[in-house]
Chains A and B, each alone.
Chain A
Amino acid sequence: MNGRGALDAEIARIAEAFRGAGATLVDLPVLQPAETLLDLYGEDIRARAYVTRDPLAGELMLRPDFTVPVVQMHMEGGANPARYAYAGKVFRTQDRSSDRPPEFDQVGFEILGGEDPAPADAEVFTLLSQVLAPLPLRVTIGDIGVLMAAVQGLTTPENRKAALVRHIWRPRRFRALLDRYSGRAPVPPARAALLERVARGKDVLADAGPLVGLRTREEVAERIAALAADAQEPPLPAAETDLIDQIVTLRETAPSALERLADIAVDLPAIMPAVERLEERLEALAARGIDIAALEFEGGYGRSSMEYYDGFVFGFHAAARPDLPPVATGGRYDAMTRALGCGAEIAAVGGVVRPAALLSAREAGQ
């Protein structure tokens, strides 16, 4: 068997394994409302997804992944909790220089609405790892929840924390904000000049002349007040930004990473619950027979993947074929369900296998 036949057999094998773990096989629409994806991922998704038009439904996108359709189907009246499996193509534009195809198969497994996160995390990871066995793959795990908790633990006002959390998935802007708050980056001259004029009692709004557009004078005034208040805030202590740096640059085997994070938690107690969750997850993985000492933990893993994981994250990579996309990836995305579910948040964890990458990795391994 070769080509499409081998791929189809592989897809069927993986989907069957997922069904064997209690998942309902679901068929999900290829066409997704563009508005939903744009609201979730922002304009960047336009550069990655194929956009098309329907005379009635307006702008549509060919699904760039299964996460959104799975969550939406579940929200529209699935059982709770539920397990889903799916197999099908996703579509992503590629660089001209890339030899990756713009459409490729994914086979996925998701647990939605479960109660206890550690066993569910461990179950998803173990199931994928069984499906990929015995292929030798480099496995990386991470936990965005630790970084989120670390931000919440900083001695800085809520609005600054909210700004940092908003940019967890944009490492560069996150870094710029941290530099600003800690005083490592200077206050931009224009802002310093504005605040100086405000402090001298100038009516900066009146001086600017007519205001056009939807944003009101009141909104501008509110932000100026917020900027003035922010300027009075003491800089974030260097010791705290150091701890954030230590977390995002952490690269150790999972057990050592857990120790390091427990050390960091002495100085930043806010991450303790997240570190305990990591410990429970590692214990649950070990109980399922996973060799956790062989897992690489990266503190910044999953931050730039645009998938909006907010807890456990993982990826299986073919060490012999660094040119291949990850053979499988996944993680927990509770917060995203809130964004899609108009307020209701449900626990969600899952992962996908790229069967074509799996076949290539297997070939390279032989």
Chain B
Amino acid sequence: MKNDPAIHVENLTKMFGDFTAVNSISFQVGKGEVFGFLGANGAGKTTAMKMLIGISKPTSGQARVAGFNVRTHAEEVKNSIGYMSQKFSLYNDLTIKENIVFFGGIYGLPKSVLKEKTQALVDELGLHDHADALVRSLPLGWKQKVAFSVALLHNPKIIFLDEPTGGVDPITRRQFWEMIYREASKGVTIFVTTHYMDEAEYCDRVSIMVEGNIEALDTPNKLKERYQVGSMNEVFLKLARNIE
């Protein structure tokens, strides 16, 4: 049990009618790993991720997340994971504090812990002056940081991040990755999709999805070696071009 991977995927497939969005992908993510899940728009990243977090039923294949089968034990999976979606998804008409209390409450955190966590979170993000401001009024970068922290509230073993830094300025992006590393150092597994190839370099391993298939999966350095290029960006372009 101890050596079980955090995420174990075998021949996972999702079809929408005739269209194969995810075509029999298989991979493993180890505990505490920062795993980059790359691919062009429409390559099937988000669909694959939705199956892993238990809100979309696989057409066929198996996936175990935190030791639970996503098909049969979706609710147990949900208890062990955190998720931050591509679409900003905190409540705009609630304050930062209220959002934290609400989501924490739904995950069943006891009152004392909720209070503690809220305080710690506000301290950590330096949002004292804004804790009671409606989320609507915050800049996007702050919102994303709050959303990330909310996804961490219940101490999940694995965190799924769907393009967490889309539309955010470089400085905030950097801060964001610092937060990601801090969590990884605590042993949390990170599963992240991104468009930014420089961010791919920060990952322990990356997979590149093209048209529903995983075309490559390795550490960034080994991938660059294999394709004999200098950056992840070029790796990505090469793979995408091969398909066309």
**A, B assembled together:** no
Interface residues of B (CB under 8 A from A): none
By a beta-carbon cutoff of 8 Å, the part of chain A in contact with chain B is none
